[in-house]
Structure formats: structure tokens, C-alpha cells
Amino acid sequence: MTMFLVRTAARTAVRTNSCRSFCVSHTQLSDRKGLVLGVFEKEEEEDEGTLHLTEAAAGFDKSLSGKLSELLKLSGPALKNGKSRVFYGLHKDFPCVALVGLGKNNAGVCRTENWDTSKENIRQAVSAGCRLLQDLEVSHVEVDSCGDAQSAAEGAVLGLFHYDQLKSKKKTKVTTQLHGSADVVGWEKGIVYAEGQNLARLLMEAPANHITPTAFAKTIEEKLAPHADRVTIHKRPQAWIEEQQMGAFLSVSKGSEEPPVFLELHYNGSPDSKQPPLLLVGKGITFDSGGISLKPSASMDAMRADMGGAATVCASIVTAASLKLPVNIVGLAPLCENMPSGKATKPGDVVKAKNGKTIQVDNTDAEGRLILADALCYGHVFNPRAIVNVATLTGAMDVALGSAAAGVFTNSDWLWEQLHRASVVTGDRVWRMPLFQHYTKQVTDSQLADLNNIGKYSRSGGACTAAAFLREFVKAPHWAHLDIAGVMSNKDEVPYLRKGMSGRPTRTLVEFAAGLAHNG
């Protein structure tokens, strides 16, 4: 419904502005409209007072006979990148106008930052402006494209997201609309990308007693319902998982009272129904207590987001379906809890994966690789053109890169290039990590079995030994493992995401899938 309103509104022509004086009582407090407009930084050689308004801002300024630029100069120093300032009562249609700083014009792709600085600046500035207006309880905001409507829409929708489903007092719901630009297609694409990431954020943030494996699968099923013509869903129950001989997955789920679900999604977007699919596999631990190798209680609550891989993978498939991307995708999400109990797997137990390999489980907290092992084995039946698995797999990944980028371990230079290209566009970055035999040796040296679920030198290179373990279950020539533990949550590092679970790297997965669709 919201989507419908936004879309309809986006198609509405922007009203003719007027600078007649107006009466405040005409504008009801509850349905005040706001406007976000951009301003670039001056070039070094230019005078202090030089203003570079965007096209939309300049148009608005002109309709007010220069009143906006006059006030902007009067109100203080030039707006720095990402900073914003609100002006009240300038225009009868917009009681609140937020001016936002966009940094240097034409900053473009930065080769050292590995992202498009202009796009990032727009996301940051627009999100700051929208939030300021949301705090003022403005219920509808028109947004300047700032030269890139998709990035502006992403900034608006990502910036306004706030998880308050379970609170009595809610933040103001804000609807958004493109202002002063004809690029409605770019704007709508940005809305869909950002809503995809917000779906992953919602699933990750929600408490584990709400998002159980069963509830997760049901939510995704509901989100995909409008796309039933192109989507098939299987919610595989425990009996199916047993038939498939997924002993590694079952060794994790058996400690919990919540039944496991193996979620299987098929999105058939390609005109060629026989086209080999892209296979996306996501770790779906709806709560990771560590099992018998129990985690310390401090911050254990964050482990409700240990299904971030499944959330981002499923959300990207929902987004691909909304965008009608001409590509086939299969999504797999092994979903369960990792809990300690009398029935739980014990350190030293040996279990057998679907491909017959035996695994000594020396640490029950290294459970993600166990559930992914079986999902990866199974995924090969679809003869995929590429396999990408996504998982909040190791604390070591967070130590290595923090929240700057997701680690990519891949056996394919082609796949790396595709993922990297996508991440430069979205600003949700990836960084390549090694898959040396060095690490393989450390997981294949097990006292009782073919493999050990932790590396021989347990703390050293933890993200790399985990990746080496997964590799033992992959035969495909184009496979990538994304360790997203470091990017799972946001404090204030990504300015256009509030504090909380990040939903990263959903937009990068969507952009990557769109790239594959484009290249046939």
C-alpha cells in the first residue's frame, strides 16, 4: 500500500511554486509537507559566498526570487558534506525546507575508497535531511534527486527506517516523493533497492522469539506472494532434511525445541526457463547461543541477527522479483536455532554431512559452517552458473575488516569482479580474502574425522579457516563465500543507516544479480 502511494505520488507533477505570503493555520500540523534540497561545496578557488545549488534547488530558489540562497548565506557557514539546515515558512506548500550538503560536485568513483563518492554523499545527505524532517513530525517529504534519483531514494528510504514494531510510541511515518526531476525510473529503483535492505534489517533486528525458523519462512512466503507467477517456494520440514541426509545441519538444530526449516526459493525471471540459475545460500541461525560451547552472555542478544545471511539472500530475491530482473535465481536458507540442551551436539562429537564427509565438531559455536556445508552440497543439483553463500560466519572477520566491507573468499576471478563492480555502485563494499591451501590443511587435520569444524590453531586466521572448511563442500568453478559478520550491525559508521542491524549487503547482492541479468 505504501509502495503504491509512493509510486502514485512520484508520478504526480511537482506543483507550481508560489512565493505569496500565507497563513500558518492553513497548514495542519499533522500533514505538513517538507522538502529536501541539495547544495554542493564550492570549489577551492571560488569565493566564500559562492553557492552551488542543485538544479531542483536552483529552480525552487528562482520561484522564491532568490530568497532561499539569501537565507542560506545569512544562516551560517557553507553546508559541509552530510550536514543539513532547516528553513521554516519559506513557501506555502512546504512549511519546512531542509538544505543538505552534498560535498564536491562530480566527485565520482574513488579508486582508493572502492565506491562512488557522489552516490554515497547523496545517500548520506538525503538521509540526514529526511531524518531531520521526520524529527519535526513532517509526514510527507519531497526529495531533490541531487543528480542521481536512485541514490537519493536509497538515502531517503534507508535513512527513515526505524524498527519500532514492538514499541507503543512510534516515530512519524514519512512518505517520500521525487521533486523537480523527471527520473522517476531511477527514483523507483532506489525505493525498491532500499526497501529490500529494510526487509533484511527488519528480519535481523526482530527478536529471536518472534523470528523463529518457521516465522522467518512464513514472512518470506508472504513477501513473495505478489510474485507467485515467477516464484516457487518450498518450506522443507525436518523429515525432508532427514531424508536428504543433512547430518551436519541436523547436528546444529537438534539442541533446540524449535523445528528447523530448509527454505528453498525459485525465482524464474529469465525468458529462458532453462537458463542455469544463480544460487544464493544464506546462513539462517535465528539465534546462536553457541550451543554447549556457550557464548558469554554479554552481547549474546546480537546473535538474533545470526540469520543475516538468510535475511539478505531472501530479501535480495524478493527485490529481484519486484524489479522483474530477467535472471533465474535459486535461494537456499537452512534455518534453525543453535541451543544447548540434553539433546545438543557435544564438543568432540562426529557427524556426517550430505556428501558423506565426516566432521569432528570440536566447537559447537562454529555452527554456521555446518549448516552451510549441507546446503552447499544440495545446491549443486540445480547446476548453478554461480554459487554465492552469505553468512555471519566468524568474529574473526569483524576483527579483520570491521564494518568497512564484507569479506569475499572465492575460487573465481570472474565472480570476484562481478561482486566488486556491484559493490562500488552500491557503496556496500566487499573485499577479497584468501583461500590458500595453508588454511585447508588446518581444517582437514582432524583426530577422528575427515574434517574438524575449527582450525588447528583456533584463533589464527579464523575467517580464512572457516572459508577453507566451506570449500570442502563445493565442486562448482564459480563460488564465493561472503563473511558478513563485520557488517552485521551499524553503530554510526554508515551514516545513512541508523544504529541497529544493517541488512548489508542486500543492495550489493541485488546489483550483482542485475549485472548477471544484463550480461545474459
Residues recognised as catalytic: 295, 369
What are the CA-CA distances from residue 363 to residues 84, 347, 384, 457 (Å)? 49, 5, 32, 13
Rounded CA gap, 457 and 362, in Å?
12
* Residue 209 identity: N
Residues that bind ligand BES (rule: CB under 6 A) add up to a total of 18
Backbone φ and ψ for 294, nearest 5 degrees, come out as: -55, 140
DSSP state letters, 246-259: -HHHHHHHTT-SSP
Min dist. Cβ of residue 519 to ligand BES (A): 33
- Of 129-148, binders to ligand BES (CB under 6 A) are none
- 488 binding partner (options Zn ion, ligand BES, none; Cβ < 5 to 8 Å by kind): ligand BES
* Neighbouring residues of 234: CB distance < 8 A, sequence distance ≥ 6: 263, 264
* Only segment of 90-98, 104-112, 358-366, 402-410 that touches ligand BES (CB under 6 A): 358-366
CB of 159 to ligand BES, least distance (A): 24
362 binds Zn ion (CB under 5 A): no
Closest separation in Å from C-beta 67 to ligand BES: 50
Q: Which of residues 286-315 bind ligand BES (CB under 6 A)?
A: 288, 306
Residue 367 is a binding residue for ligand BES (CB under 6 A): yes
Q: Closest Cα to residue 500, out of 185, 207, 123, 237?
A: 207
Radius of gyration (C-alpha) of the chain in whole angstroms: 25
373 binds, among Zn ion, ligand BES, none (CB under 5 to 8 A by kind): none
Please pick, from the candidates 142, 258, 337, 365, the single residue that binds ligand BES as defined by CB under 6 A. 365
Does 398 bind Zn ion (CB under 5 A)? Our answer is no
Q: Which of Zn ion, ligand BES, none lies near 454, with the C-beta cut-off 5 to 8 A by kind?
A: ligand BES
Number of neighbours of residue 154 by Cβ within 10 angstroms: 29
3-state SS class at 19: coil
Residue count, binding to Zn ion (CB under 5 A): 6
Judge whether 323 and 189 are in contact, CB under 8 Å.
Answer: yes
Amino acid letter for position 388: V
Select the binding partner of residue 462 from ligand BES, Zn ion, none (C-beta < 5 to 8 A, by kind).
ligand BES
Instruction: Please give the grid coordinates belonging to residue 163.
Output: 524498527
CA distance 92 to 75: 21
Residue 208 is a binding residue for ligand BES (CB under 6 A): no
Taking CB within 5 to 8 Å according to partner kind, which of Zn ion, ligand BES, none is near residue 394?
ligand BES
Which residue's Cβ lies closest to ligand BES? 395
Bridge-based pairing state of the strands 140-144 and 175-179: parallel
Angle at 48 between CA 45 and CA 53, to 5 degrees: 90
Helices (H), 261-333: 308-322
Q: Contacting Zn ion (CB under 5 A), which of 144, 306, 398, 483?
A: 306
Among 53-61, 192-200, 298-306, 498-506, which window interacts with Zn ion (CB under 5 A)? 298-306
Residues 388-417 that bind ligand BES (CB under 6 A): 392-396, 398
Q: In angstroms, what is the minimal distance from the CB of 102 to Zn ion?
A: 39
Identified binder of ligand BES from the candidate list 34, 101, 462, 495, rule CB under 6 A:
462
- Rounded to whole angstroms, the Cα distance separating 416 from 16 reads 48
Q: d(Cα 378, Cα 380) in Å, to the nearest integer?
A: 6
> Which amino acid would we find at residue 164?
D
Output the DSSP codes for 159-203. HH----TT-SS-PPP-EEEEES-S-HHHHHHHHHHHHHHHHHHHH
| Residue 490 lies near ligand BES (rule: CB under 6 A) | no
Other C-beta atoms lying within 10 Å of the C-beta of residue 66: 10
For the bound state, the minimum distance from the C-beta of residue 84 to ligand BES, rounded and expressed in Å, comes to: 32
Stretch that binds Zn ion, among 11-19, 91-99, 115-123, 280-288 (CB under 5 A): 280-288
State the nearest-atom distance from the C-beta of 439 to ligand BES, in Å: 13
What residues contact 186, with CB distance under 8 A and at least 6 apart?
A: 145, 148, 149, 150, 153
454 lies in the site for ligand BES, by CB under 6 A: yes
Q: How many CB atoms lie within 10 A of CB 345?
A: 25
Output 83 or 295, the one with its CB closest to Zn ion.
295
Tell me the closest approach of the beta carbon of residue 293 to ligand BES, in angstroms: 7
User: Least separation, in Å, of the C-beta of 469 and ligand BES?
Assistant: 10
β-strands 33-40, 96-101: how paired? parallel
- Helix residue spans in 347-435 (DSSP H): 368-379, 395-401, 413-426
Q: Is 485 in the site for ligand BES (CB under 6 A)?
A: yes
Q: Which residues, in sequence order, are CB contacts of 104 under 8 Å at separation 6+?
A: 40, 41, 43
Nearer of residues 259 and 395 to ligand BES, judged by Cβ: 395
Which span sits near ligand BES by CB under 6 A: 187-195, 257-265, 359-367, 400-408? 359-367
- DSSP letter for 155, please: H
Identify which of residues 103 and 334 has a Cβ nearer to ligand BES in the complex: 334
Nearer to ligand BES by C-beta: 443 or 513?
443
What residues line the site for ligand BES (CB under 6 A)? 288, 306, 363, 365-368, 392-396, 398, 454, 458, 462, 485, 488
What residues line the site for Zn ion (CB under 5 A)? 285, 288, 306, 365, 367-368
